[in-house]
Amino acid sequence: MPPHAGTPGNGRPVVSFGEPEVGYRERSWGVRVPPRIAAVAACVVLGLGLIGGAATGSWLIGDSGDDSGGDSFAKAGELWHSVPVDQLFPPTVDGRGAGPGGADRTWTRIAVAPDSGCTDAFDPLLRKALAPVGCERLLRATYTDATQSYVTTVGLLFTDADAAAMRDMDKRFTKDGLDTRTDLMPLPYAAKNTLAADFGAKQRASWTISVLTDAPVVAYAVSGWADGRAVDTPEPAEQAMESGDTTPVAQSGLGNEAQGLADRVERALRKTVTSPPEQPS
């Protein structure tokens, strides 16, 4: 309806409007917008804003979304050959609050494995468990803590799978508890002439495996003592980090080493896929 249906005294009917709702104001150019229309318009604007915000945050929370999510998923699968190693595995990783009781941690990279396939990188049983998603490329690096007491290998397995296959694999690992089985621990990368030279299968103390659903990637980390001591009873990081656990692995904080470093490498992966890659110097 027009803003003024008639003027008293000109022979036309006079249409009056009710008083505006509390807080309602007329536009400065003199056009009165009915409260209901203004409310609807505000809801539309708010809804569009929420949709836009959800799309922006979908990668960060693990939701693949629609078209943009698909683009992010595909982009993540190409990072192994398009991003400098220092972006995926920084020379130094800040682990603020990552240690036992919220203590800070700092990890220094001591070795980077050549990118490879998965034939000799996993125990046969873990390789079989991961077979449904395939192996496009495996990237690994080994770090030590600031005291050089521990060594931790972190890995990024880039798969051949689509988003549906990654979701299925994630459900399987979670539902069947495959990520906590001691016969499915990842192997460390024992680089010669480094603190990790004696970091072999028998030295594995704690580990974590994460099947991502917003990228064709399986991220993992496995930790142990830097002095090469063997471990009779390794513990998954989630268990070793529980309050009250008094095992040597838990008391040493090796669960925190594995989980903290894996988390931060995974964050770096997500950050990389949402920003232009840095050019090597």
Segment 161-217, tens digit of pLDDT: 999 999 999 999 988 999 999 999 999 999 999 999 999 999 999 999 999 999 999
In angstroms, the CA 108 to CA 104 distance is 14
Write out pLDDT tens, residues 80-106. Answer: 777 888 999 999 999 998 888 889 999
Question: What pLDDT does 51 receive?
Answer: 41
Distance of CA 235 to the CA centre of its chain: 23
pTM: 0.73
- Angstrom distances, CA of residue 98 to CA of 25, 106, 152, 253, 259: 52, 9, 14, 10, 8
257 pLDDT above the threshold of 50: yes
Confidence (pLDDT) at 108: 97
* % pLDDT > 70, the chain: 72
Q: What is the pLDDT of residues 10-51, one digit of tens each?
A: 444 443 334 443 433 333 334 454 555 455 444 444 444 444
pLDDT at residue 175 in the model: 85
Q: What is the pLDDT of residue 92?
A: 96
Q: Quote the CA–CA distance of 204 and 257 in Å, as a whole number.
A: 12
Rounded-to-10 torsion of CA 86, 133, 116, 105: 40
If we measure between CA atoms, which residue out of 99, 108, 96, 118 comes closest to residue 141? 108
**pLDDT band at 69, cuts 50/70/90?**
low
**Which alpha helices (DSSP H) does 83-227 contain, by range?**
85-88, 124-130, 163-175
Q: What is the DSSP string of 222-260?
A: EEEETT----SS-EEHHHHTSTT--SHHHHHTHHHHHHH
139 close to 89: Cβ distance less than 8 angstroms: yes
Q: What percent of the chain lies above the pLDDT cut of 90?
A: 56
Worst-scoring range by mean pLDDT, 6-10, 73-77, 208-212, 233-237?
6-10
**pLDDT given at position 46:** 40
Which stretches does DSSP call E strand in the chain?
92-95, 105-112, 137-145, 150-158, 206-211, 217-225, 235-236
Identify the pLDDT of residue 269: 87
d(CA 221, CA 155): 6
Separation of alpha carbons 225 and 247, rounded Å: 14
